[in-house]
Structure 1
Amino acid sequence: MIKNSFSQIYTYKNTKLFGLMPNNKAVSQYTLTNKNGMECSVINYGATITAIKIPTANGEKTDVVLGFDTLEDYINSFDLPSAPYLGTAIGRYAGRINNASFTLNGEKVQLTKNHKSHQIHGGLEGFSRKFWEVTSINEDINPSITLEYTSLANEENFPGELNIKVTYTLTENNELKVTFQAKSSEDTVINLTQHSYFNLDGHAKDIASQKLFINAKNILETTTELIPTGNYTELKNHTFDFSSPKNCPISIDNTFVLEGKEAATLYSENTKIKMTVFTNQPGVHIYVGGNCFGQIKGKENADYHPTSAICFETQNFPDAPNHSHFPNSVLRKDEEYLHQTTFKFEKLQP
């Protein structure tokens, strides 16, 4: 375990300088590797996962998530016509909040607006564009890294000072475990998620032929602006019924109501890689995309397009603060928020 104060510099062996933020803060990339050769790389800008590499034949590795080669590209991606949030930690509230407002303890809270009249993914900056401190790294069995960010009271107009920790653990069973923990100085609302884009054929490919299973019988009904109405839509005979594996959709931006801790699976016939998603969250928001509009190149000069990859945004329901029958989104003062999601990778036999 390597553990230093915030002001000290880590000397972790698998670290490299990734770039400088506009305020000259140095952003580093940290790479975890397990005994099987699986890798996960993380930067402390947005607590962002930049690469997940799965060993394949002949000593080669398949990078199964979208990302950029430079910090500048990550920063500039937020100025694209639709920011992709590649690999970032999302907060204080993932998904959309209707009219960027809600009522808490009898008082209306008006948030910042960054999605027409609504808020999405935490507002104008959210947690995805923040500098996160690395507070611990474990190099031993099941290597891990913990990053921490403190969101001051009234940041994006959310009440309460919120301290957040995210730990990425790479197990010897080829699982990437994501654990969010948070505490607030006042009652607030919270909904954190990890926003990696997966493609099991490799990050430069197309997702459309990969097989998707989602453990859900309902999705949230939404308006034309993708705001939940409060109703549920049954998936029987629906286009988005993935209770039996079928090809990924080429366009989707919907929240599925989960039936258990096993949320979803993705499988590639080409690489024989299967990914299973487990979570303690009530929903998974599925989004196919990654488009960089020809303005920014992905890693290794890749051109990311509208069907580059798929997101499994395990989380509470969007707009839950405005729907009393949705799962609770309020974090009371000094209570602990705990979000656990696991991405398990397997190489199936031909």
Structure 2
Amino acid sequence: MEKNHYSQLEQAINSKFFGILPDGKEVSCYTLSNKNGMELSIINYGATITSIKIPVSDHENVDVVLGFDNLQAYMDSFDLPSPPYMGTVIGRFAGRINEGKFTLNGKTIQLARNHGEHHLHGGNNGFSQQFWNVKNSTNDDYPSLTFTYTSQNNEENYPGILMIEVTYKLTETNQVIVEYHARSTEDTILNLTQHSYFNLEGHQKDTSNQLLFVNAVKTLETDSKNIPTGLFLNVSNCTFDFTEQKKCPTSIDNSFVLDKKTKIAASLYSEKTQLKMIVYTNQHAVHIYVGGNCFGKINGKENASYHTQSGICFETQNFPDAPNHPNFPSCILRQGEIYHHQTIYAFEKI
């Protein structure tokens, strides 16, 4: 059995046993806390956020993300008809790639078609299902924890050995900061994101009465299989115009084009708990998704029955299918370059 070493963890970071993977590696749950009583929990299977607990009164905390109570449930969720990727880091490439195929440096590369005819979220065994090592922790101005994973050359048929670090930070102003760095031994493509489902009224509720704002006037046009066409649509002409906050949609799976002059991507607000979450990022898009569920087959935390409106995802990233559209921002990570992606989930009581 492979064990982690916890001696480097600081007082603001606690760890506990979470389960054993089939290869014998031990998975732990790490909880970061701040002086306000807020807690952020992550496991090193998929570098997955399992819980974000925020005080809403002297006697009540609200857990604002969906998740499971044990490792087996996380593993089993990937066998569902449409895996929810609950709280995981997505890679190498978030979103869809048309027919799982792209050309890089004149060479056509065929990836797994794990979503009908297309490639989705890194393939059959993407970063969401991998064991991540704990590199280090800090507790200077705020607690942080860094996870590392090395993706081997041709893993899921992606070129290059890719070395990734994901750091989670919890600030004293109730911000969860997620920061990614990566480099590759060869030219490759890369598009990482975090796939937490948020619900500001608690993970056992639904999002239907919460208010969504998306800081975008354009969205990507897609075909019937939700593959980008390469064109952009003004949201004023679309169903999904959230330039003024309105109730969360019952179903959405759309990429919004962000204005690079501002880091604000979106926000979510609950009148019931008076909690607001603002999402900041340095990425080109935020993919909003409502519709993930467990099909009545796996219970969530505290025996919750997750349905299609249990949570909403804010997948900050580059554009889906970017390798196949020259007019999209480049997703190519060249040998020797450093990939850097930062997303902040800022929580406040209104």
Q: Give the TM-score band, short-chain normalised.
A: over 0.9
Instruction: Answer yes or no: is 1:86 the counterpart of 2:86.
Output: yes
Kept after mapping to 2: 8 A contact 1:34/1:141: no
- Residue 328 of structure 1 corresponds to 330
- Residue 347 of structure 2 corresponds to 345
Alignment of 1:21-100 (within 5 A): 21-100=21-100
Instruction: Answer yes or no: is 1:10 the counterpart of 2:12.
Output: no
- Residue 206 of structure 2 corresponds to 206
Paired with 2:153 and 2:177, the residues of 1 have a C-alpha distance of: 29
What amino acid is the match of 1:201? Answer: E
Question: Residue 28 of structure 1: CA displacement?
Answer: 0.2
Paired with 2:225 and 2:147, the residues of 1 have a C-alpha distance of: 33
Alignment of 1:251-270 (within 5 A): 251-259=251-259, 260-270=262-272
Paired with 1:88 and 1:225, the residues of 2 have a C-alpha distance of: 24
Paired with 1:301 and 1:79, the residues of 2 have a C-alpha distance of: 19
Paired with 2:101 and 2:237, the residues of 1 have a C-alpha distance of: 35
CA offsets 1:277-310 (integer angstroms, 9 cap, x no match): 0000000000013310110000001000000010
Partner SS, residue 58 of structure 2? helix
What amino acid is the match of 2:82? Answer: S
Aligned-residue CA RMSD (Å): 1.1
List structure 1 runs of 4+ shifted beyond 3 angstroms. none
Question: Residue 237 of structure 1: CA displacement?
Answer: 4.2
- Residue 276 of structure 2 corresponds to 274
Question: Residue 8 of structure 1: CA displacement?
Answer: 5.7
Question: Residue 59 of structure 1: CA displacement?
Answer: 2.8
Kept after mapping to 2: 8 A contact 1:66/1:290: no
- Residue 231 of structure 2 corresponds to 231
- Residue 183 of structure 1 corresponds to 183
CA offsets 1:12-52 (integer angstroms, 9 cap, x no match): 36100000001111000000001111110000000000000
- Residue 149 of structure 1 corresponds to 149
What amino acid is the match of 1:165? Answer: E
Where structure 2 has 5 or more consecutive residues not aligned to the other structure, the ranges are none
TM-score w.r.t. length of structure 2 = 0.96
CA offsets 1:300-321 (integer angstroms, 9 cap, x no match): 0100000001000000000000
What amino acid is the match of 1:329? Answer: C
Paired with 1:59 and 1:202, the residues of 2 have a C-alpha distance of: 15
TM-score w.r.t. length of structure 1 = 0.96
Where structure 1 has 5 or more consecutive residues not aligned to the other structure, the ranges are 1-5
What amino acid is the match of 2:277? Answer: M
- Residue 296 of structure 1 corresponds to 298
What amino acid is the match of 2:30? Answer: Y
Question: Residue 223 of structure 1: CA displacement?
Answer: 1.0
Paired with 2:336 and 2:96, the residues of 1 have a C-alpha distance of: 25
Kept after mapping to 1: 8 A contact 2:4/2:26: no
Paired with 2:184 and 2:3, the residues of 1 have a C-alpha distance of: 24
Paired with 1:95 and 1:112, the residues of 2 have a C-alpha distance of: 13
- Residue 3 of structure 1 corresponds to none
What amino acid is the match of 1:26? Answer: E
Paired with 1:265 and 1:272, the residues of 2 have a C-alpha distance of: 13
CA offsets 1:63-85 (integer angstroms, 9 cap, x no match): 00000000000000000111000
What amino acid is the match of 2:77? Answer: S
Determine what percentage of the aligned residue pairs are the same residue: 60
Paired with 2:180 and 2:226, the residues of 1 have a C-alpha distance of: 26
